[in-house]
Amino acid sequence: MFNSRVPARFVRGTLAALFALFSLVLAIGGSVAQAILPDVIAARVSTTPERGRLILDLSGMTEFAIVSLREPDRIAVDIRAASVKTIAPQPVSGQGIVAGFTTAVAEEGRVRVELSLAVPAMVQQAYLLDPVGDQPARLVVDLVATSAEDFAARAAADLANAMGSVVPSTIEAPSESVSEAPSSEPLVSEAPAAIEPAPSAEPVQAPVAEPAAGSRPLVVLDPGHGGVDNGASAPSGLHEKGITLAFALQLRDLLVASGKFDVALTRDEDIYMTLNERVDLARQNKADLFISLHADTFQQADIRGASIYTRDERASDILDKVLADGENRADIVAGYVEPDVKQPVVDILVDLMRRQVRQQAFVAAGDIVKAMEPSVTLRRFPVRQADFFVLQAPEIPSMLIELGFMSNAADIQNLESESWRDKVVGAIAEGVEQYFAALEAAQ
């Protein structure tokens, strides 16, 4: 058993000491048989002028990679799969950013789906869904419109790292059970509400100064969505991106005022940031806690209440491939660099770190829920697990707080209330203080 209150920095520091042991174990270990690849059963695309969604039905779970390509502009999705029925160029449902798509076997063990773009677009999120009942496993890829310049830059970067970045499954919609999967139809953006700031012309990464060694704990707050991505919307025109930013700014001020924390935001204005950029910002600045704020919507209007998600262990099978995108994975292990190390060693070391840190995230989520319980409406079993992309950093305790549902009238009323926001922000701050106080006492 390990102490559930061990600081993340201590976890990073102990992994290098384990390196030699696991090198010896793996040197005498056997090889792992290659998994049987699934088949792509069906493919479909729906689109609007702002968004698009690709859904692939699969005979089993697998891995995938996504790249942007030019001349002509298109997005390619490569899936590790055995076969697919070759499909001629297909029309799509609706008029929008996706003009059509093709599906074919690119080579043995790899199926490629190419989305022809009517306008420049970028991947907003991509995730795998486990099979449920008669519904097969699914890969869902959501797109949003972007500028020509941004698309060109992303295409250039993708070409340099072709097949080197696999996007992990990400479930951005809350669920009461595994059967409540996101809708197969794309989410339609509405006009920004008047109370929200106008979107910035181009995405800008918020600057964050790296704290000095031995300084106060760094808490990174991540207001979900922003810019061209409104997030969930209420019938009144209120958007999730404005709600999450308001909560994050107030929570930042409260934590800073306590004098106990350094606080950084992934965005402090209405700009768009990719999920990778949000995670990278927290990792580059060695955050001690990452909190992503959201307020989602769901097809059942009676579902309401706040909840906190930590990342589910089932997503761990492809996490290491994501970490290889744009960085040396050996650097993950507390700066330990071993050029000749075999890949499985790094996989195991990262897995050790991930398990310890996810336990820390679970403890932190419990502390915040305990502080919220007396005054905030919570969902049943409010501490939950799901495969959110922004929770993927293996060395940072990370959580995603769903403040409520914009599909529920009572939750909307709360989310628009300044007094309710004061209450929730105060409770979150109290939980954060309790978490770090217990960490300090455990050292």
Secondary-structure breakdown of the chain: helix, strand, coil percentages, each rounded to the nearest 5: 30, 25, 40
Task: Please state the pTM of the whole predicted model.
Answer: 0.52
Of 191, 196, 169, the residue nearest 182 (C-alpha): 169
Residues of the chain with CATH 2.60.40.3500: 39-160
Read off the pLDDT of residues 178-235 as tens digits, 9 standing for 90 and up: 223 333 333 232 322 322 333 333 333 444 444 444 579 999 999 999 998 888 888 8
Stated length of the chain: 443
Q: Which residue's entry shows tokens 């300090």?
A: 440
pLDDT level of residue 380 (50, 70, 90 thresholds): confident
Provide CATH 3.40.630.40 ranges for the chain.
218-442
Angle between helices 343-372 and 418-442 (to 10 degrees): 130
With pLDDT > 70 as the criterion, what percentage of the chain qualifies? Answer: 67
What percent of the chain shows pLDDT beyond 90?
40
Structure tokens at 207: 């600057």
pLDDT digits (tens, 9 = 90+) for 232-288: 888 888 899 999 999 999 999 999 999 999 999 999 999 988 888 899 999 999 999
Give the per-residue pLDDT at 347. Answer: 45
The neighbouring-strand residues paired with 311 are 386
Q: Is CATH 2.60.40.3500 what the domain over 39-160 is classified as, yes or no?
A: yes
| Residues whose CB falls within 8 Å of the CB of residue 13, separated by 6 or more in sequence, listed in order | 334
152's CB contacts (< 8 A; 6+ apart) are 70
Which CATH architecture is the domain 218-442 placed in? 3-Layer(aba) Sandwich (3.40)
